[in-house]
Amino acid sequence: MSLTDLISIEDLTADEVRLVLDTAEQLKPIAERRRKSVPTLRGKVVCNLFLEDSTRTRISFDVAAKRLSAEVISFSAKGSSVSKGESFKDTALTLDAMGVDCVVIRSHSSGAPLQLSRYLDVPILNAGDGWHQHPTQALLDVFTMREHLGDLAGRRVVIVGDVLHSRVARSEVQALVLLGAEVVLVAPPTLLPPAVERWGARVAPNLAEVLPGADVVYLLRVQRERMHRAFFPTTREYSRRWGVDAARLALLPEHALVMHPGPMNRGVEITGDVADSSRSVITEQVTNGIAVRMAVLYLLLASRSPEEVDA
């Protein structure tokens, strides 16, 4: 891979996305072995810098790095001022001085990973920045879709909900468009970003119209923590118009998948029975997240110094 950082799906070519997916496919079986690790990144130090809440992404990166035998140091700065100006730079310089080989960063500020990449000379991996990007989420999602559906060219993926506040949606649409999928967005008009028509996706007014032709329905979490005004009348109204329940599930073709990045608001964007149904691949997404993050860590750390990696 020609990249030195993974900050945005925009920086990837279709071939690079395929390379990540193919590498993840090779690495996935490691999890099924009795000994769940390989020595590939032994001696490397990966720093998990989580400046915003996270459960699955933080643990997923942790497990991924450990399966490759890297050392992991975790740094969460909840409540501190590390995300602000000079002190963010100081954090970066401190990490540099400690000799870390890679930084995985999650931040509530869009652009923090890019900023960090200017301070540090080691690979920076974006684990979600503000409303901007969440590239490994998109990669694990397309990996999961590809496992079930094969080549995604011409497949139709319906993304539903809070597109405006969603870094997942931004990354997801870019990855799907790169792989030739058709993307349809369905959302309350107040939760669609301006200039969404430039994303390369189609906007459809209602779910009932698009579900019968969907290969995947991808539900976004209603991002309450990012809503500082009313974007829809009530939660009930939201669920009635944009949520997926058993009746809507029945509109999907037999083979279609239900996906969600987590954490879910059961009863809001998805009902419990849909989340737990046989169509849902939500827990597979979590499992695949580890293989995809292993692939990205491997490709980023190996591309910088291939001779140091004993694969």
- Give the residue numbers annotated as catalytic, written as ranges: 56-57, 84, 106, 134
Total of residues contacting ligand NCD (CB under 6 A): 11
N-terminal to C-terminal alpha carbon distance within the chain: 16
Give the nearest residue (CB) to ligand NCD. Answer: 221
| Closer residue to ligand NCD (CB): 52 or 101 | 52
Buried residues in 234-248 as b, exposed as e (16+ CB within 10 A): eeeebbeebbbeeeb
Instruction: Report if residue 221 touches ligand NCD, rule: CB under 6 A.
Output: yes
| Closer residue to ligand NCD (CB): 134 or 248 | 134
Instruction: Report if residue 132 touches ligand NCD, rule: CB under 6 A.
Output: no
Binding mask 68-107 for ligand NCD (x = CB under 6 A): ----------------------------------------
| Closer residue to ligand NCD (CB): 100 or 219 | 219
* Other beta carbons less than 10 A from residue 293's beta carbon: 28
Listed residue (173, 190, 93, 99) closest to 133, CA to CA: 173
Instruction: Report if residue 137 touches ligand NCD, rule: CB under 6 A.
Output: yes
Binding test (CB under 6 A) with ligand NCD, winner from 48, 57, 91, 271:
57
| Closer residue to ligand NCD (CB): 117 or 171 | 171
Task: Classify 195 in phi/psi space as left (phi over 0), alpha (psi -120 to 50) or beta.
Answer: left
Instruction: Report if residue 134 touches ligand NCD, rule: CB under 6 A.
Output: yes
Residue 148 C-beta: closest distance to ligand NCD, Å: 19
Residues contacting residue 283 through CB under 8 Å, at least 6 positions apart: none
Binding test (CB under 6 A) with ligand NCD, winner from 20, 70, 168, 185:
168
Dihedral through CA 299, CA 305, CA 308, CA 311, nearest 10? 20
Site for ligand NCD in 110-129 (CB under 6 A): 128
- For the chain, where are the E strands, in sequence order? 45-50, 71-76, 102-107, 124-129, 156-160, 182-186, 202-203, 216-219, 257-259
* Other beta carbons less than 10 A from residue 228's beta carbon: 6
Contact residues for ligand NCD, defined by CB under 6 A = 56-57, 128, 134, 137, 167-168, 221, 223, 261-262
